[in-house]
A and B are shown apart, each in its own frame.
Chain A
Amino acid sequence: MSEIERRALMKGAALSALAFTAGGVEVLLSPQQARAQNIAFKTLNADQVATLEALGDTLVPGAKQAGISHFVDQQLSIPPEQALLEARILNIRPPYANFYRAALGAIDKASKTQNADRGFAQLNDTERHAFVDLMRQNKVDGWQGPPGPFVYLVLRSDAVDVVYGTMDGYAALGIPYMPHIAPEKRW
């Protein structure tokens, strides 16, 4: 890691908020704020975002609104040393985008195969739930990608992070957060 990257890392550490680009200017936002401001995605394409948001809400209600797609996209656009993704601690080799593209692609491809060419985002809630239930048990026919249970683990963790792992998430559950050093943006 270069000194410049090191400074960026420490800046992130000191501020503990995520850097997004809006109108060519870097702004510090929570993923939920980034979503509300319709910040452009840097790494994921529109199909991948649609799949991720549909999957996020299927795994943890509220994940889409909490900005799971902006969280993951922002994280995939920064050096892995700075990443906050649970992928980091699950022995996934950087660049993490490779895993996410493979995982989201596998979900969509399997969904289309089984549902008359409808991608995961086009499924209704009942169909999405049934698909994820099979995926977590590694029972999706014709699955081609990282193991389904592992995809479930990683993406479910991301959804849990953005919904339940933040200060706002704790407040919504009614659990005292009690930080020694609080994250910026309550995130």
Chain B
Amino acid sequence: MANAKVDVVIVGAGASGTLYASVLAKAGKKVVLLEAGPDWQLSDLISSDFWGRRVKPAGVPFTFEGKNPYGYAYQAGWGVGGAALHYFANFPRYLPNDFKVKSEHNRGLDWPISYADVAPYYDKVAAEIGVSGDATAEELWRPKGAPYPMPPMKTFRNGDVWKKGCEAAGIRMVPAAVGMNSTEFKGRPACIYDGWCHVGCPIGALANPQVTYLADAKKAGAEVRALSTVTRVLTNEAGSKVTGVEYYDAKKEKQVQEASVVILAAWSAQNPRLMMNSATDKHPKGLANSSGLLGKYMMAHYASGTWALFDDDVENHMGTVGAQYMSYDRYDKTSKKGAFGSTYIVAGTALKTSDLGGFANARFDLFGPQLADFMKRAKRGITRLTAFGEEMPNIENRIELADGKDEFGMPMAKIVHSFDQDAVALWNANFEEGLTIAKATGAKEFWSARGNQPTIHLFGGTIMGNGAGDSVCDSYGQTHEIGNLWVAGPGLFPTEGASNPTYTIFAVSQRGAEQLVSKWGTVAG
């Protein structure tokens, strides 16, 4: 079934898709958002770890290979709001050194843009959806920018106890920038620090798409079609333009949505899967893939967590799941001897009992009466510090179409991912420093949260660059080879930094969306 042609069809209603929808709808474009999952409302966001799992995918169309298989489903979104419906809303920026790794170290890749190109959009996003933090304090590490619209969030003992240890280690901690309301902001209430951010904030204090870009987009006339799974991007006979997408609706009936511009915002793995599955005789390796780099340079963060247990009450049930304090003092790519890559450190988080992040997993080796005893001891006294690490882009970390098909007949894909020696070395070094910090806090007990090296966030696959020879997209997200096919999200990032990516996803998307509006006459098919 063919629907009336629209100006823009956006695949995926998460962080970047809803931002694009907002900017384009406000610019007067007819926008349709196609989202594979349900149309979650704030009232669906039950404060419970297991009820909160419903906003994540159940059975993803990927297989996972490599030495460090990617942990997909925990971090992915399923439904309107995407992963940003359950994100922790940590809003650190990338720093200038993230954009020029190749130039400065002859490692990894350069972005085709610099920090200065993105910085105005950080400020714009902050003003639009609300960020709490201390911009002046962050100038220890980054160029001056606009102040945040809200002061820092409250802190609690579970964060404060780490300051002494960090200071002893020469690590300066400043209030963490978060996409949450420390005060009322644009009619949205201030946070009440109940710590259920990770299962979705139903009160609107956390800047999830439902209360920010999606709400704005709908108000400006954008249409959201939930339970609509896109399987192909359609092209004209010459292969010079995209003409729309094919998708299966909530009744699992095949539909076509024609559009002047197609924006793929279905996250780093699904975007290349779609582009590969849209291959034609004009694009035999997949759309915009003459470079052969589609699906390449997949990257993930990893975390070195340190637990500390105190005798007294550290109020660990209070706060947000986002960080209270952050530091870039180990962000230099060579800050750890024998390793390479940035480290971003955060401290202080509200803790729940269960789920992957719950403190029942703080001693994963314990079970039975020993676990019961530990839970009693830890219930008010445990807290965590986390150091996030960066891996360099590696062309062998990739996405490929694979055997088998999903329920819509679309080929599955596999994500192949392994950390290199530098990433392993940095992960280990960050554990060591975590213990040093914890010891200096005076905690009664402290230990590393070791297990398999985790994979956190997901980047690459449709990286930006200077031309079709070295990348899939330009710095705005426009594919080099098909002018009206755009890609949004962290799949564009040529390097991943070490800090949480969503603020940069928003900033890069804002920059791209404004470019699309300004170039509309030459872009639209």
* A contact residues vs B (CB 8 Å cutoff): 1-3, 6, 9-10, 13-14, 16, 58-62, 80-86, 88-91, 93-94, 129, 132, 136, 152-153, 156-157, 160-161, 164-166, 169-170, 173-183
Interface-side segment among B13-21, B57-65, B474-482: B57-65
Select which of B71, B194, B352, B368 is within 8 A of A129 by beta carbon: B368
For B354, give the chain A residue with the smallest CB separation: A165
Select which of A91, A152, A160, A165 is within 8 A of B71 by beta carbon: A91
In the assembled complex, B127 has its CB within 8 A of some CB on chain A: no
Measured between alpha carbons, how far is A61 from B368 in the docked complex, in Å? 6
Measured between alpha carbons, how far is A94 from B44 in the docked complex, in Å? 23
Q: B194 — which chain A residues lie within 8 A by C-beta?
A: 178-180
A184 to chain B, nearest CB (A): 9
**4 tightest A-B CB contacts, nearest first:** A179-B47, A165-B354, A164-B353, A84-B50
In the assembled complex, B511 has its CB within 8 A of some CB on chain A: no
Complex contact A94–B353 (CB within 8 A)? no
Q: A90 — which chain B residues lie within 8 A by C-beta?
A: 71, 73-74
CB pairs A–B below 8 angstroms (10 shown) = A13-B54, A59-B368, A62-B372, A80-B59, A89-B56, A164-B375, A165-B50, A170-B353, A183-B47, A183-B48
Complex contact B358–A160 (CB within 8 A)? yes
Assuming A14-B43, A80-B59, A181-B43, is B251 touching A3 (CB within 8 A)?
A: yes
In the assembled complex, B96 has its CB within 8 A of some CB on chain A: no
A172 to chain B, nearest CB (A): 10
* B contact residues vs A (CB 8 Å cutoff): 38, 43-51, 53-54, 56-60, 64, 69, 71-74, 194-196, 201-203, 227, 250-252, 317, 352-356, 358, 360, 364-365, 367-369, 371-372, 375-376, 379-380
Q: How many A-B residue pairs have CB under 8 A?
A: 153
Complex contact A9–B50 (CB within 8 A)? no
Complex contact A9–B54 (CB within 8 A)? yes
Measured between alpha carbons, how far is A1 from B250 in the docked complex, in Å? 7
For A173, give the chain B residue with the smallest CB separation: B379
The B contact surface, by secondary structure, is loop
Q: B375 — which chain A residues lie within 8 A by C-beta?
A: 164, 173
A9-B54, A161-B354 are known; give 16 further A-B pairs, CB within 8 A.
A1-B38, A9-B38, A58-B368, A84-B53, A86-B53, A89-B356, A91-B72, A136-B367, A164-B353, A165-B353, A176-B317, A178-B47, A179-B46, A180-B45, A180-B201, A182-B46
Complex contact B354–A157 (CB within 8 A)? yes
Q: A169 — which chain B residues lie within 8 A by C-beta?
A: 353
A156 to chain B, nearest CB (A): 6
Q: B201 — which chain A residues lie within 8 A by C-beta?
A: 180
Measured between alpha carbons, how far is A182 from B279 in the docked complex, in Å? 47
Select which of A9, A10, A61, A136 is within 8 A of B372 by beta carbon: A61
Q: A165 — which chain B residues lie within 8 A by C-beta?
A: 48-50, 352-355, 358
Complex contact B367–A132 (CB within 8 A)? yes
Assuming A9-B54, A10-B44, is B353 touching A60 (CB within 8 A)?
A: no
B176 to chain A, nearest CB (A): 21
Chain A CB within 10 A, most for which of B43, B196, B203, B367: B367
Complex contact A85–B53 (CB within 8 A)? yes
Assuming A2-B251, A9-B54, A180-B203, is B47 touching A91 (CB within 8 A)?
A: no
Complex contact B358–A88 (CB within 8 A)? no
Q: B352 — which chain A residues lie within 8 A by C-beta?
A: 165
Measured between alpha carbons, how far is A166 from B251 in the docked complex, in Å? 35
Measured between alpha carbons, how far is A44 from B423 in the docked complex, in Å? 43
For A79, give the chain B residue with the smallest CB separation: B58
Q: A3 — which chain B residues lie within 8 A by C-beta?
A: 250-251
A162 to chain B, nearest CB (A): 9
Q: B44 — which chain A residues lie within 8 A by C-beta?
A: 10, 13-14
For B378, give the chain A residue with the smallest CB separation: A173
Q: B196 — which chain A residues lie within 8 A by C-beta?
A: 178-180
Complex contact A61–B369 (CB within 8 A)? yes
Measured between alpha carbons, how far is A152 from B367 in the docked complex, in Å? 10
Complex contact B50–A161 (CB within 8 A)? yes
Q: B251 — which chain A residues lie within 8 A by C-beta?
A: 2-3
Q: A82 — which chain B residues lie within 8 A by C-beta?
A: 54
Assuming A13-B46, A176-B317, is B53 touching A89 (CB within 8 A)?
A: yes
Measured between alpha carbons, how far is A80 from B354 in the docked complex, in Å? 20
Measured between alpha carbons, how far is A59 from B366 in the docked complex, in Å? 8
Complex contact A83–B53 (CB within 8 A)? yes
Complex contact B59–A181 (CB within 8 A)? no
Q: B59 — which chain A residues lie within 8 A by C-beta?
A: 80, 93-94
